[in-house]
Amino acid sequence: MPAANSIDEPILTVKDLNISFVSKYRDDRQVIRNVGFEIRPGEFVGLLGESGSGKSTLGNAILNLLTPTARVTSGELLYRGRNLFTIPAEDLRILRWSEISTVFQSSMASLNPVMTVRAQMEDVFAAHRGASGAKREMTVEKSLDLVSIDHKYLDFYPHQLSGGMKQRVALAMSVLLSPDLIVFDEPTTGLDVVVQKSILSRLKTLQESMKFAVLFISHDLGTVMEMADRVMIMYAGEVVENSPAADALSGVAHPYTIGLLGSYADPRDAEINIRYIPGRPPSLDSVPVGCAFADRCGLATQECREPKIPTAEIDSPAGHRSIKCVLFGSETSDPLPAPTIFDEVGQQIDVHHAALGAGEVVCRVEDLNKTYSTRKGLKHTENHAVIGVGFELRKGSVTALVGQSGSGKTTIGRILTGVEKPSSGTVTVAGVDVGSLKRRTLRNYRSKVQLIFQDPFQALNPASSVGYAISRPLVNHRKLRGSEVREEVDRILGQVGLTPPSEYRDRLPHELSGGQRQRVVIARALAAQPEIIVADEPISMLDVSIRAEILQVLNELTRSNGIAMLYITHDLLSARLIADEILVLHEGKIVETGSTNQVLTQTRHDYTKLLLSSIPNPWQSRRNVPSIPAASSTSARA
Amino acid sequence: MLYFLRKTGLFVLTLWAAVTLNFLIPRLQPGDPAEAIVQKLAGQAQQVDPEQIRAIRLMLGVPDTSLWNQYWDYLNALVHGNFGLSYGYFPYSVTHMIAEALPYTLTLVGVTQIIAFVAGTGLGAWAAWRRNTKIDSFISLGSTFLSTLPFFWIALMLIYVLANTLHWFPEGGAYSGEIVPAFSSGFVADLAYHAVLPALALLITGSIGWILGMRNNMVQSLGSDYTRLAVAKGLKERRVAWTYAARIALLPNFTGFAISLGGVFGGTLIVEQIFSYPGMGKLMYDAIGNRDFPLLQAIFLITTVAVLLANFLADVLVGVLDPRVRRQSS
Ligand SMILES: Nc1ncnc2c1ncn2[C@@H]1O[C@H](COP(=O)(O)OP(=O)(O)OP(=O)(O)O)[C@@H](O)[C@H]1O
Ligand code: SF4
Ligand SMILES: [Mg+2]
């Protein structure tokens, strides 16, 4: 434990760090640019940024785990005054885990698959025999108690544990030697919201009792803002803002911070205002001169294109802020600009105003059941994936199917698209029972019901061009020929916002960004002129700013083309933005239905309440923190 | 546990199927099976030697009894290691001929295979551990280069340089003519002396596959999250390299190794041919030349059984080493 007088001494100091990836085949890419910050004992620091902004690289640098192709071109990394890049290897080894430990993303892959949990934990003690007595008080059993895992799991292998349990084991392992700093890299990505919530609250209690400092890397804004004392926002390899969380939320912050926060809202709120930042981060091969964010920033001026953007150092009641933006702390103006200037940052998205019951019914699902039976040796087990589910889909309206993973959402989607047969019950589309369809008619049916998957990277054939992918349904289902096909492809590309079509028609999937790929998947689904679209978590793999954009496209297209959509998700905010009606699914049963607003604001069922309470709400949990920072001193640093 | 039971069951079943097929196939042909076999081996135009037909008949058993009885006799003979008489080495029995050749192959090829595997895997692991250094480049480029050379060329070069030019080792044979084969120290030393060149050839070519395979697997497992976490845990280098990276990288190689060991029983035709080594490969080569059907049949059976057995042992071994495999089928 840190001594009382060292409370204000940072345990970790990063100074002017630059990291490049070198490659024989192309120019070096600088992925970390002039990053400097400090972490104090017991502090909970969040690191936020879009995919590819360099968060993991920075985390790995702190752990000294960079891959051999990464070069630290300049800068220092001081842990209690010792430079981790230059200390002798054996000193570094001893310092590892006893001072700085880590939990990786998805411990699926970070636990050794052929060793028991116990063996992997005891390895730590074996490697650190010399650690001081205080550090040896912890035992493997005690650490498991801390994360509420039964001791019997010590003798299990990783693959015998669920994802959430593995993550808890990883958390228990990280505190074995009572380190002073733990680096978390997306520790709950891929886990269920409810599981995620329980792990994070466990982390928070552990941190409060053991007093270690945390660097928490995530792209999940709500979580970071709720948990962290201080947040750092990364953009294109730079830390553009480093502020106490309350200040970052105050409405006066770096335009990128404002933009990121704009895409976040609490689905329970009566009025929702969502904004997103159009465009994508610059390629790291050619970061523009001046502010890297300038191309997407609505507030950019000529000044922002000057080579050196100063970093404003501002003291606020909650602590110290560093903001790299010309709007802050220039010598001639107030350190903080007026909050109103940020009103125009980002682009507003239309929040759909849910209207229940409009439009004719195109699909009726009645008393649907699906039971999977598995046979293991002599044991016969039945898994009731879907139990007595019934609902209707209407023309031009969106129905959200919401539930935890494993609740049966995807099974219902698969039955609807005719990929899977129900055990009992009916799905009626245009007067025909889908379960009774045979080969030919089923093929026809499938063109009427299109599926959009979670992963746009797997949904497209890597070897065929965008134009070809979209033309397939036109030729197969709609029997278009020749120039008709071409015109229709262009029209659909325009509809999903890939304009001009000539620029996208001949591209291959790998030449597109994630958001563009998902647009192509949507275009392909539209090409078949479907009556129903089943969208299974269509935005969950995308970055926040792209999410809003794709939701927008889906929203407009279903309504203008009179398509009925079943929107499958675990994310209640996105359901709020697009759906007219919500069905809450729990263990195969629908436990609550109603119009979107009704389900979210006048929630009746406990399970829906649990789902809602698992959503982080930084604004609410910080309500008592003063939100208007009064600047006391300022200085500008080039 | 279930995993091992299942694998054992599967092994017994395939073994039985192989043995039975070996019995059935020659008998399923229309007409007199013995005549048909000899005709096939001799070629259509040639005159068939009645002696040959008699030998095959002997091997197949008395044709007049029922198929069931023949099958029973066949199994009985198998259990007693009785494969009939060799036609090519009449009046020696097939079993005698195999017993003569097998020890040579087993020691030469078997031992070199094991050494090649251990050395190759070790070198591959070392190269991966020191990846992107000079050691790595030397090992991987060197073995990639050697892997492009045909085996016979390497063998002939060894003979040319070490035997013909430097006269350090004999050109071929398993032992010197003057020594009487016996279990004396002199004979064993002589055997080893003769085995050096073929063993060297086998070692060079045999280990390359393991080097490259192990290096690739290990580079992957070194980059994996569990290895990186092991480093972050502050484990000693050795522990990270062996218990985390190498152990998992090794698993896929084990199966390949066990199967290659099974192949040893068939001998290696080329190496025994080049070094005139009196092992199973040479025996098989001669058996084909002599149209020695009983001998061929026995060699094929032994090879099949050995490969099956090796596969089975590989499954068991991997099951012991990798808990994920055990779990999948239980
Ligand atoms: N081994 C590598 N070799 C070359 N470039 C790399 C390597 N690892 C990462 N990069 C590049 O470095 C940049 C930063 O990557 P990093 O993994 O740090 O991003 P991130 O912010 O963690 O993203 P995510 O949210 O997707 O995890 C990216 O442009 C990435 O393509
Ligand atoms: S420096 Fe200019 S472009 Fe960059 S964020 Fe600030 S205002 Fe926008
Ligand atoms: Mg990352």
In this predicted model, what pLDDT tens digit does every residue of A292-303 receive, in sequence order? 999 888 889 898
pLDDT score at A331 = 58
Comparing A380 with A471, the larger pLDDT belongs to A471
Distance to chain A for B121, nearest Cα, Å: 19
Q: What is the rounded average pLDDT of the residues B69-86?
A: 81
Comparing B62 with B122, the larger pLDDT belongs to B122
Asked whether A297 lines ligand 2 (CB < 6 A), one says yes
pLDDT score at A263 = 82
DSSP β-ladder status, A311-316 and A634-637: antiparallel
Judged by CB atoms closer than 8 Å, whether chains meet at B233 and A157 is answered as no
Domain boundaries, chain A: 8-111+178-348
Distance of CA A150 to the CA centre of its chain: 30
Contact between residue B41 and residue B291 where contact means Cβ atoms under 8 Å apart: yes
- A87-91, A508-512, B1-5, B281-285, range with greatest mean pLDDT: A87-91
Q: Is the pLDDT of residue A2 over 50?
A: no
Binding pocket residue ranges, ligand 1, CB within 6 Å: A 21, 31, 49, 51-57, 67, 69, 219, 284
Percent of chain B with pLDDT over 90: 13
Q: How many angstroms separate the CA atoms of A520 and A246, rounded?
A: 39
Residue A179, phi then psi, degrees to nearest 5:
-70, 165
Structure tokens at A187: 């520790």
Chain A residue with minimum CA distance to B235:
A127
Interface membership of B6 toward A (CB under 8 Å): no
**H/E run at residue A393:** strand A379-394
Amino acid at A557: L
Q: What is the rounded average pLDDT of the residues B144-148?
A: 86
Q: How many angstroms separate the CA atoms of A412 and A452, rounded?
A: 14
Q: How many angstroms separate the CA atoms of B231 and A63, rounded?
A: 9
Q: Is the pLDDT of residue A228 over 90?
A: yes
CA A54 / ligand 3 centre spacing (Å): 7
Orientation angle between helical segments B185-223 and B247-263, nearest 10 degrees = 140
Lowest mean pLDDT among A6-15, A613-622, B4-13: A613-622
Q: Which candidate, A12, A99, A19, A105, places its Cα nearest to that of A57?
A: A19
Place of tokens 């640019």: A33
Place of tokens 């409810």: A194
pLDDT score at A154 = 92
Q: Which one-letter DSSP state was computed for residue B275?
A: T
Amino acid at A554: L
According to the 3-state scheme, what is the secondary structure of A34-101? EEEEEECCCCEEEEEECCCCCHHHHHHHHCCCCCCCEEEEEEEEEECCEECCCCCHHHHHHHECCCEE
Chain B residues in contact with A110 by the CB 8 A cut-off are 225-226, 228-229
Q: Is the pLDDT of residue B292 over 70?
A: yes
Interface membership of B325 toward A (CB under 8 Å): no
Contact between residue A532 and residue A362 where contact means Cβ atoms under 8 Å apart: yes
From the list B232, B247, B327, the residue facing A102 with the nearest CB is B232
Contact between residue A450 and residue A529 where contact means Cβ atoms under 8 Å apart: no
Q: Which one-letter DSSP state was computed for residue A364?
A: E
pLDDT score at A27 = 79
| Omega before A500 within 30 of 0, i.e. cis | yes
Which residues make beta-bridge pairs with A535? A452, A567
Up-side HSE of residue A475: CA atoms within 13 Å toward CB? Answer: 11
Percent of chain A with pLDDT over 90: 33
Q: How many angstroms separate the CA atoms of B136 and B114, rounded?
A: 23
Largest Cα–Cα distance of chain A, in whole Å? 81
Cβ atoms < 10 Å from Cβ of B118: 13
Q: How many angstroms separate the CA atoms of A577 and A596, rounded?
A: 9
Q: Is the pLDDT of residue A354 over 70?
A: no
A242 band by pLDDT with thresholds 50, 70 and 90: very high
pLDDT score at B29 = 61
Which residues make beta-bridge pairs with A426? A366
**Residue minimizing CA distance to atom 3 of ligand 2:** A294
DSSP β-ladder status, A181-185 and A213-218: parallel
Amino acid at A474: L
pLDDT score at A6 = 42
Q: How many angstroms separate the CA atoms of B232 and A97, rounded?
A: 7
**What contacts A143, CB < 8 A, 6 or more positions away?**
A121, A172, A173, A175, A176
Average predicted confidence (pLDDT) for chain A: 85
Distance of CA A330 to the CA centre of its chain: 35
Structure tokens at A405: 């993973």
pLDDT score at A626 = 41
Judged by CB atoms closer than 8 Å, whether chains meet at A113 and B228 is answered as no
In this predicted model, what pLDDT tens digit does every residue of A308-350 receive, in sequence order? 888 999 988 888 999 999 988 765 556 777 777 887 777 777 7
Domain boundaries, chain B: 97-293
Q: What is the rounded average pLDDT of the residues B93-118?
A: 87
pLDDT score at B288 = 80
pLDDT score at A565 = 93
Chain B residues in contact with A95 by the CB 8 A cut-off are 234
Q: Is the pLDDT of residue A16 over 90?
A: yes
Q: How many angstroms separate the CA atoms of A587 and A581, rounded?
A: 20
pLDDT score at B279 = 84
Q: Is the pLDDT of residue B87 over 80?
A: no
Average predicted confidence (pLDDT) for chain B: 81
Contact between residue A255 and residue A325 where contact means Cβ atoms under 8 Å apart: yes
Cβ atoms < 10 Å from Cβ of B51: 11
Comparing B79 with B218, the larger pLDDT belongs to B218
A633 band by pLDDT with thresholds 50, 70 and 90: very low
Q: Is the pLDDT of residue A623 over 60?
A: no
Q: How many angstroms separate the CA atoms of A296 and A294, rounded?
A: 5
Interface membership of A127 toward B (CB under 8 Å): yes
Ligand 2 atom with least separation from CA of A240: 5
Amino acid at A338: A
Q: What is the 3-state composition of chain A as percent helix, strand, coil, each rounded to the nearest 5?
A: 35, 25, 40
Ligand closest to CA A292: 2
Place of tokens 């009785």: B82
pLDDT score at B58 = 64
CA A294 / ligand 2 centre spacing (Å): 5
pLDDT score at A135 = 55
- Kindly provide the residue ranges of all beta strands, DSSP E only, lying in A57-212, ordered along the sequence: 70-79, 82-83, 100-103, 181-185
Chain A residue with minimum CA distance to B322:
A114
Amino acid at A98: S
Which of A49-73 are b and which e, b meaning 16 or more Cβ less than 10 Å from the residue's Cβ? bbebbbbbbbbbbbbbbbeeebebe
Q: How many angstroms separate the CA atoms of A451 and A432, rounded?
A: 19
In this predicted model, what pLDDT tens digit does every residue of A38-51 receive, in sequence order? 999 999 999 998 88
pLDDT score at A631 = 40
Q: Which candidate, B74, B83, B85, B98, places its Cα nearest to that of B51?
A: B85
Q: What torsion, rounded to 10 degrees, do the Cα atoms A583, A588, A589, A593 define?
A: 0
Q: What is the rounded average pLDDT of the residues A56-60?
A: 92
Q: What is the rounded average pLDDT of the residues B59-79?
A: 74
Comparing B130 with A17, the larger pLDDT belongs to A17
In this predicted model, what pLDDT tens digit does every residue of A380-436 receive, in sequence order? 777 888 999 999 999 989 999 998 877 888 889 888 888 888 889 989 988 888 878
- Give the CA distances from residue A408 to residues A145, A385, A398, A583, in Å, rounded to whole numbers and listed in that order: 32, 5, 19, 12
A437 band by pLDDT with thresholds 50, 70 and 90: confident
Burial of residue A527 (CB within 10 Å: 0-12, 13-18, 19+) is buried
- Give the CA distances from residue B203 to residues A214, B116, B192, B306, in Å, rounded to whole numbers and listed in that order: 53, 5, 15, 21
pLDDT score at A107 = 53
Per CATH, which fold does B97-293 belong to? Answer: MetI-like fold (1.10.3720)
B24-29 CB contacts, 8 Å cutoff, 24+ apart = B26/B60, B26/B297, B27/B60, B27/B67, B27/B70
- Give the CA distances from residue A5 to residues A9, A178, A498, in Å, rounded to whole numbers and listed in that order: 8, 20, 59
In this predicted model, what pLDDT tens digit does every residue of A111-166 receive, in sequence order? 898 899 999 999 998 888 765 554 556 788 988 988 888 998 999 988 888 888 88
Q: Is the pLDDT of residue B328 over 60?
A: no
Place of tokens 């004719």: A360
From the list A101, A109, A128, the residue facing B226 with the nearest CB is A109
Chain B residue with minimum CA distance to A100:
B232
Cβ atoms < 10 Å from Cβ of A111: 23
**In terms of CATH architecture, what is A8-111+178-348?**
3-Layer(aba) Sandwich (3.40)
Structure tokens at A153: 């799991």
Amino acid at A528: A
Distance of CA B109 to the CA centre of its chain: 7
In this predicted model, what pLDDT tens digit does every residue of A454-466 receive, in sequence order? 777 778 888 889 9
Q: How many angstroms separate the CA atoms of A414 and A369, rounded?
A: 13
